[in-house]
A and B are shown apart, each in its own frame.
Chain A
């Protein structure tokens, strides 16, 4: 018997995943354990293995499509079996009609089949409080259908088995909250002609579109859909800048000591079994120690509360192909330099591969971001709310300073500290930066502490 493969739910908060890559194509033979497809959440990438052997009968989504979790993605079965019964009618299915609606992105479609079964937009007040028969609930679970989207047609609006069958077949209609938003977006003038005044597909089609949609010729540009991770970054950045009072302080310090120290380590790295400790690792180490005396920067600003942390959980910004990721080195104030170095390497590697555990991407109390390798001399890092501070590490430039009446070149490394002025005033932030510089300039002394 043909069996569907659903999009797994990776964690309670995940609602959909993007198909990153198909490893098998429709018609391929698959064996149990073969990787069928790779998919990603906003934070990580996973491989879905085949649970049984057979032929990949049908593939419902293409690479790049965003698939609601628990939705049928493909079907494995015996050669010649009919898999059409498993086709999800969901938003990413193969709609015969589609209307692009306003920012809420609501899509309404019909299977175009029986007239009497025209999909209705209904005000199903199901969210969390849906009345549903035990049988329907079990069936929804089995089919991987979110029953809160079902239209309860039983007595008193109870969702019954039939409704889940319909839902699984036609895809879900519009939830009440989406409906509200939908109406607010300017389409509220629509008169429903369905049973009980429900808005039907025809009602939407017959209406003048709110904005002119370009049709016909080549448009001269390409619309590239945002990846999930891009959407997340976009939201996070906008949120940060719009919801905090951030400003940046710039300074630099004499990096001679840390450079000498690093050189020493590099020379005896293999002998001592040490990690390839980078300058950035040294900065992280110094930050983790210095923050202890500047608790307002190792904190979360929660509107009416400051949550100051006992331990330092350093967020480390990593540049990946998919975008910026910030894994956390927990308890970094307790870890050795070598320990921090090793952990950062491991986390960075996981971020690059997309295999990072989503939990490792949360929980930071302060962040360090480094653009030094790209020659940046100073910048304004963007806070990672509710954290109160983020340190930007810049490139090293040669500067001169007067020593004993003489001019001397020294390697100067720039530091850019962005902080939330709501939480911390300028002077205390500057004092942190000063102490950090001192510690870095006297790194071997710091190590002795």
Chain B
């Protein structure tokens, strides 16, 4: 917390009450006549057309899903299609004023949002800009399909087909889809039109969109961000976390200069009143009216309002008013857009949870039909013209449908011909020194920074004249991280860092000490205790093109950010077919001494998820080099650190840690000590206990041990390890992770396969016991100790003369523990 803000006991304890402003509910009451001043006839008709395009698009999908046919075109689509028939007014109204600089994020039910936003962007972009986008996207591959199929009179007509085709081909998993078929119905998007990922995880966009808004704000970008999530997602923790992060006081109180003020963000609830089958109002939630929630978030009540999502003009009106609020930097805004879907949750939904009367009543008020009637009534158009629009769209949709299901024109990825197509998309593997080229916002020259000056006086080697350098004088692990990070803050203007206690505290483990002096608030700030939103917003920030370091303090809190790490951070690069980059570093600190919920090494959990790079340095040299690599790359890196060794000096490199810039390549293990009789491969701080074991092996048993530090977990180059095992014939793998399901088991298996003929015994894994982490005083029975290495070697690799083991590595014990599940 910042010292400049005084927590006054008198204020805090003062008697009083909280008052609320009224929250408007469906207050729009204008007629078409009233709106003629704001909309031309063409505008009205375009709104009508856009709604019907969406209606027909989803009618087609519904027909294909339920009857395997649309207008005589037969096709089977086994994948998902969550339809929003009935909700067209809400999405067209929302998109009407938005252009390509405005970003929307969606849900699993967002075909309408994509199309509406795309149609609006096409309307506003110049022909040249549209052509540029279409020609450059996947080298014009999608454009070529459209152009080869038909001659177009105008670029906008062409762009309309491009939008519909790219979306449908994506839904049908075609390589000519907007994301080469890797996203599909629930994740289709097209960033050049400001359409950012939809999300199959309910509420997934609730925190990602906040990160996008932070990106807009921090990097002074044009446009607003709308996070579209469903009414039922208000039951999701990360959505609340997103609201908290979006509404932090500090934007208005602590951020400085042009950066002061609220986020340009609308959290819009597409309130179709059902979460799958659960009625949010009356059954599964308690808010009565959803807009009420805004009142609980901040004094502005998030400018919450319920609007009539069945009237496109009411929605346009609301967005116009709310955008003005955002432009005044008074955001964020919370909108409750009421609507209704006639279609089921999915085509297999029998609507057992609602009556036919209810559906018919809403169909009676169908937004498209009633809007058309109003337009005719207001003499904007005639029914015959509307029928003409409908007929045109049906014909267009039939054409696009045929094109999308044609296997020659719209093939799927040929994984036989290109077995690595998807593999190559898991990481972008680019090197970009700075995500944007402009001046970095800093508060002082780097050389004047007190921490930088302090570090200058430190000894950059762990040993001096054969003796360890004292903690106070030695260049520590935390200094190494600081050096890499501060360097990037002065290089990449988009880099921001946040998390819990990141600013004045200097990070819980003093890595960031000195950064507060160097950086303005908008580049380094404290977040709420919202691990989900910390990572989720970092995902949003990264996918918009910014580099970010988010910190989770303890590894044990990683579970709180489970979805954001496993489903969001890891997947968007590949699900976008490489369109999106994810230059996000998540710092995770592995604890000790603090018991069961603060001392766990969960590297194995993240190593299991495809799409994440995972590193765990154990020396200052490696920490700086790997952080430099992580911050130079464009991939998400889970950066593990250990609280056991923040104060350690460089013990392995005689030259110490270089002052200048260097990188340690992610994925390369390092031989710390050479030997010939046994290889020990460690992950993380276990390195130092293994080193002690190496000494015992040598002194007591005359065995020469090679000690290798994995440094990285994903990716991992086995060459050095295999080379070592070929030499020694024996290997022990060790880390502080619980032994069951540890990634070391995976490594051991790989080594067995790669070096089987060279092994004198199976690779042996020495991990922590499969218990809770006990109190510090009992940790020696839980975490691998130097003696465990000797015992494991004696029992499983080569019996040692006169050795009496203390820990139990026998086969029977192994069986017993497994049998008992511990």
- Residues in A with CB closer than 8 Å to B729 are 133, 135, 161
Shortest Cβ distance from residue A65 to the other chain B in the assembled complex, whole angstroms: 33
User: Contact between B758 and A154 (Cβ–Cβ < 8 Å)?
Assistant: no
Contact B760 A136 (CB under 8 A): yes
Contact with A along B717-742 (1 / 0, CB 8 A): 00000000000010000000000000
A336: chain B residues within 8 A (beta carbon): none
B327: Cβ under 8 A from any A Cβ: no
B799: which of A135, A138, A154, A161 is its contact (CB, 8 Å)? A154
Smallest CB separation, B183 vs chain A (Å): 46
Q: Please state if B757 and A154 are interface contacts (CB–CB under 8 Å).
A: no
Residues of A within 8 A of B695 (CB): none
Q: List 11 A-B contacts (CB under 8 A).
A: A133-B760, A134-B758, A135-B759, A135-B760, A138-B758, A153-B798, A154-B799, A155-B761, A155-B797, A158-B761, A160-B760
Determine if A134 and B759 form an interchain contact, defined as CB atoms under 8 angstroms apart.
yes
Interchain CB contact under 8 A, A155 and B760: no
Interface magnitude class on chain B:
10 to 19
Nearest-CB distance from A137 to chain B (Å)? 8
Residue of B nearest to A153 (CB): B799
Which residues in A have their C-beta under 8 angstroms from that of B761? 133, 154-155, 158, 160
In B785-822, the 8 Å CB interface with A consists of 795-799, 811
Question: In angstroms, how far is the closest chain A Cβ from the Cβ of B663?
Answer: 36
Cβ-based interface call for B756 (8 A)? yes
User: Is A342 engaged at the interface, CB distance under 8 Å to the other chain?
Assistant: no
A161's partner among B756, B760, B795, B811 (CB-CB below 8 A) is: B760
A155: contacting residue among B758, B759, B796, CB under 8 A:
B796
A156 on interface, CB distance cutoff 8 Å:
yes
Q: CA separation between A136 and B758, bound complex, in Å?
A: 8
Known: A134-B757, A134-B759. 16 other contacts (CB 8 A): A133-B729, A133-B760, A133-B761, A134-B758, A135-B729, A135-B760, A138-B758, A153-B799, A154-B761, A154-B798, A155-B796, A155-B798, A158-B761, A160-B761, A161-B760, A162-B798
Task: Give the distance to chain A from B101, nearest Cβ to Cβ, in Å.
Answer: 63
Q: Please indicate the chain B residues that have their CB under 8 angstroms from the CB of A155 in the complex.
A: 761, 795-799, 811
CB distance from B733 to the nearest CB of A (A): 17
Residue of B nearest to A160 (CB): B760
For A138-166 the 0/1 string (1 means CB < 8 A from B) is: 10000000000000011110101110000
Contact of B756 among A134, A153, A156, A158 (CB under 8 A): A134
Cα–Cα distance between A154 and B799 once the two chains are bound (Å): 6
Residues of chain B touching chain A, judged by Cβ–Cβ distance below 8 Å, are 729, 756-761, 795-799, 811
Chain B residues, Cβ within 8 Å of A134? 756-760
**Known contacts A156-B811, A161-B729; A135 and B796 CB within 8 A of each other:** no
In the docked arrangement, what's the CA distance between A138 and B758, Å? 8
Please, which residue of chain B has its CB at the minimum distance from the CB of A156? B811
Per the bound structure, the CA–CA distance linking A153 and B756 in Å amounts to 20
Q: Which residues of B contact A161 (CB under 8 A)?
A: 729, 760
Closest residue on chain B to residue A133 by CB atoms? B760
- Please measure, in the bound complex, the distance between the C-alpha atom of A133 and the C-alpha atom of B758, giving whole angstroms: 8
Residues of chain A at interface, number, CB under 8 A: 13
Nearest to B810 among chain A residues (CB) is A155
- In whole angstroms, how far apart are the Cα atoms of A161 and B757 in the complex? 12
Bound form: Cα–Cα A134–B730 in Å: 11
In the complex, A156→B797 CA distance in Å?
Answer: 10
B798 CB contacts on chain A under 8 angstroms: 153-155, 160, 162
Report A-chain residues with C-beta under 8 Å of the C-beta of B797. 154-155, 160
Q: How far is the CB of A218 from chain B (nearest CB, A)?
A: 49
CB-CB nearest in chain B for A138: B757
Closest beta carbon of chain B to A168's beta carbon, Å? 15
Docked CA distance A155–B757 (Å): 18
- Cβ contacts under 8 Å, A154 to chain B: 760-761, 797-799
Cα separation A83 to B811 with both chains bound (whole Å): 42
A118 shortest CB reach to chain B, Å: 14
Residues on A with beta carbons closer than 8 Å to the beta carbon of B799: 153-155
In angstroms, Cα B678 to Cα A162, docked, is 13
- Are A135 and B757 in contact (CB-based, < 8 A)? yes
- Residues of B with C-beta under 8 A to A136: 760
The closest CB in chain A to the CB of B756 belongs to: A134
Complex alpha-carbon distance, A136 and B797, angstroms: 12
Interface residues of A in 148-192 (CB under 8 A from B): 153-156, 158, 160-162
Q: Which residues of B contact A138 (CB under 8 A)?
A: 757-758
Min Cβ gap A120→B in Å is: 14
Q: Which residues does chain A contribute within 8 Å of B757, judged by CB atoms?
A: 134-135, 138
User: A380 vs B757: C-alpha distance in the bound complex, in angstroms?
Assistant: 58
Q: Sorted from nearest, which 6 A-B pairs have the closest CB atoms?
A: A135-B760, A135-B729, A133-B760, A134-B757, A161-B760, A160-B760
Q: How far is the CA of A144 from the CA of B444 in the complex (A)?
A: 73
Query: A159: nearest residue on chain B (CB-CB)?
Result: B760
Assess whether A135 is in contact with B758, with CB atoms less than 8 Å apart: yes
- Bound Cα distance from A65 to B729, whole angstroms: 36
Give Cα distance in the complex from A215 to B796, angstroms. 51
Q: Which residues of B contact A153 (CB under 8 A)?
A: 798-799
Chain A contacts for B758, CB-based, 8 A: 134-135, 138
| Smallest beta-carbon distance B127→chain A, Å | 69
How far apart are the CA atoms of A133 and B761 in the complex, in Å? 6
Given the complex of chains A and B, what is the CA–CA distance between A162 and B801 in angstroms? 13
In this complex, what residue of B is CB-closest to A164? Answer: B760
Q: Whole-angstrom distance between the alpha carbons of A160 and B759 in the complex?
A: 9
Q: Identify the interface centre among A135, A138, A161: most chain B CB within 10 Å of its CB.
A: A135
Q: List A contacts of B811 (CB < 8 A).
A: 155-156
Could you tell me the distance between the alpha carbons of A32 and B749 in the complex, rounded to whole angstroms? 45
What's the nearest-Cβ distance from chain B to residue A160, in Å?
5
Distance, CA A135 to CA B760, complexed state (A): 5
Chain A nearest CB, measured from B388 CB (Å): 78
How far apart sit A268 and B795, CA to CA, in the bound complex (Å)?
84
Q: Tell me the complex Cα distance, A135–B797, Å.
A: 12
How distant is A162 from chain B, measured CB to nearest CB, in Å?
7
Please determine whether A133 and B759 come into contact, CB atoms closer than 8 angstroms.
yes
Residue of B nearest to A162 (CB): B798
From B758, which residue of chain A is reached at the shortest CB distance? A135
Q: Bound complex: CA of A138 vs CA of B755, how far in Å?
A: 12
A194: min CB distance to chain B, Å: 14
A154, A161, A162 — which one has the most chain B CB atoms within 10 A of its CB?
A: A161
Chain B residue nearest in CB terms to A132: B760
Give complex CA distance A136, B760 in Å. 6
Residue of B nearest to A158 (CB): B761
Q: With A and B bound together, what is the CA distance between A155 and B761 in angstroms? A: 9
Question: Smallest Cβ distance from B286 to chain A, in angstroms?
Answer: 62
Nearest-CB distance from A99 to chain B (Å)? 28
**C-alpha spacing A156/B758, complex, angstroms:** 19
Q: Which residues in A have their C-beta under 8 angstroms from that of B760?
A: 133-136, 154, 160-161
Cβ distance B627 to chain A, nearest Cβ, rounded Å: 39
Residues of B within 8 A of A162 (CB): 798
CA distance A7 to B798 in the complex (A): 31
A133-B799 Cα distance, complex, nearest whole Å? 14
CA distance A136 to B796 in the complex (A): 15
A135 to B796, CA, bound (A): 15
B29 to chain A, nearest CB (A): 83
For the complex, give the distance between the alpha carbons of A160 and B761 in Å.
8
Chain A nearest CB from B153 CB (Å) reads: 73
Q: Which residue of B lies closest to A116 (CB)?
A: B801
Expressed in whole angstroms, the Cα–Cα distance for A121 and B757 within the complex equals 29
Closest B residue by C-beta to A137: B757
CA distance A155 to B798 in the complex (A): 6
CB distance from A8 to the nearest CB of B (A): 24
Q: Chain B contacts of A158 at CB under 8 A?
A: 761
- Residue from A133, A136, A162 whose CB has the most chain B CB atoms within 10 Å: A133
Contacts of B759 in A (CB 8 A): 133-135
Count chain A CB atoms within 10 A of each CB in B796, B797, B798 and give the residue with the most.
B798
User: Please, how many angstroms separate the alpha-carbon atoms of A158 and B811 in the complex?
Assistant: 14
In the bound assembly, the distance between CA atoms of A134 and B753 in angstroms comes to 12
Query: What distance in Å separates the Cβ of B198 from its nearest Cβ neighbour in chain A?
Result: 52
Bound CA span A53–B392, Å: 91
**Alpha-carbon distance A134/B796, docked complex (angstroms):** 15
Docked pose: A134 CA to B756 CA in angstroms = 7
